[in-house]
Amino acid sequence: VLVTRRKEASIAWTQRGQESSSALCEQPLAGLASAMISQEQKGEGAGEAAPSPAAEAQVEQLGGVGLGTAVAAAAAEEEEEEALVSFDRQAYPKGLNADFISDEETTAEAILAKFAGEKGKFEDVEFRDIAKNLDGIVQMLRDHTALSDASIVADIGAGTGLMLAPLSNLVPEGKVMACELAPDFRAWMRARIENEKLENVEVVAADARNPFHGHKLGEGPPLQGSVDVAIMCDVYHHLEYPRTACKHIRRYLTPDTGRLVIVDFHRDPARVKSHTEEWVLRHLRADQATFRQEVLTSGYRLVEEVEVPGLEENYVMIFASADADLANPGESWTGRG
């Protein structure tokens, strides 16, 4: 079933990519982004309110899609209302993600100038370990997950799209879902996708609780139970409702072989040289042990912790659903990892 769904997904998404305008591809990236920002601000592509877990389960059952014990059980349960996570209000006076969202005080252009492009904070290889070690992160995914050419990968909190091209190349017959909360970043990524002709990449509007909020059931191939890897790079510490977000992600992972990969900063000024001690201790709301426990109590088990050569400021944790049968991973397992 999973192999068939991936094949259908690949065909549908390839056709959608081929319909992209070639004229857009020829325009400069910054110009494309500017043209798309107003569309995002008007709500275009923002998606609809996410259906309840029970409704999602009914849709999947009607479609005859077997999700496995873990995903089906998670889809059937009702959400408990999670309180906004505690964080340093002086470091984040407007909220954990306010710096990424334009308002009357900060323009979209100013945000993109700060974070996007080769010298932006997200993509500067001289400043950010993630940017400098992209190849190592991709190799880690090859070696420690069940990815194949036709897999589906979700980049949770994709930001300005630093990971899009490497992930697109990693799954050439599959799909990359770029899930992002900030409208200006989504606009930038759509322009980037057009400019770089990444036909197997699609931008999804996330919200504070559900990274897949903007994915509408019934439009395109179903995603629940089909995402092979969901990866967050320097994103987990920005989750406002981490347990709720992790539960939503768990519903989308493939049974048994699906993995949640978290790459985040050590909360240790001695290891993080790119930022001040104050930034490390105030910007990062908690340490690795705390984040690990939050994920474990959201229905996961820790599979392993991985050291990526050259990635000095960040740790890597790989999780599977708590119900995953790690001893019998199923037909989609490639034997790697």
> DSSP of 251-318, one letter per residue?
HHBPTTT-EEEEEEE-S-TTT--SS-HHHHHHHS-S-HHHHHHHHHTTTEEEEEEEPPTT--SEEEEE
Q: What is the pTM (predicted TM-score) of this model?
A: 0.76
Token readout for 132 is 């400098």
Q: What is the pLDDT of residue 145?
A: 97
Res. 30: pLDDT tops 70? no
Q: What is the pLDDT of residue 126?
A: 77
Res. 46: pLDDT tops 60? no
Q: What is the pLDDT of residue 118?
A: 82
Q: What is the pLDDT of residue 29?
A: 60
268-324 pLDDT, tens digit each: 999 999 899 999 999 999 999 999 999 999 999 999 999 999 999 999 999 999 988
The dihedrals phi and psi of 169, each to the nearest 5 degrees, come to -70, -30
- Is 5 within the bounds of a domain? no
- Is 3 within the bounds of a domain? no
- Is 9 within the bounds of a domain? no
Please return the burial class of 320, using the count of CB atoms within 10 Å of its CB with bins 0-12, 13-18 and 19+. Answer: buried
The dihedrals phi and psi of 133, each to the nearest 5 degrees, come to -120, 35
- Is 331 within the bounds of a domain? no
Q: What's the DSSP call for residue 227? A: B
Comparing 30 with 310, the larger pLDDT belongs to: 310
Per DSSP bridges, beta strands 314-321 and 259-265 are: antiparallel
Q: Which residues contact 86 (CB under 8 A, 6 or more apart)?
A: 285
Token readout for 90 is 């002086």
Three-class SS state of 118 = coil
Res. 125: pLDDT tops 80? no
- Is 21 within the bounds of a domain? no
- Is 264 within the bounds of a domain? yes
CATH number of domain containing 132: 3.40.50.150
3-state helix, strand, coil in the chain (%, to 5): 40, 15, 50
What is the distance between the alpha carbons of residues 111 and 320, in angstroms, rounded to a whole number?
Answer: 35
Q: What is the pLDDT of residue 121?
A: 76
Domain count, the chain: 1
Q: What is the pLDDT of residue 105?
A: 84
Q: What mean pLDDT, rounded, does the chain reach?
A: 79
76-118 pLDDT, tens digit each: 444 568 999 999 999 999 999 999 998 888 899 988 888 888 8
- Is 54 within the bounds of a domain? no
Query: Which residue segment(s) compose the domain that 200 sits in?
Result: 95-325
- Is 114 within the bounds of a domain? yes
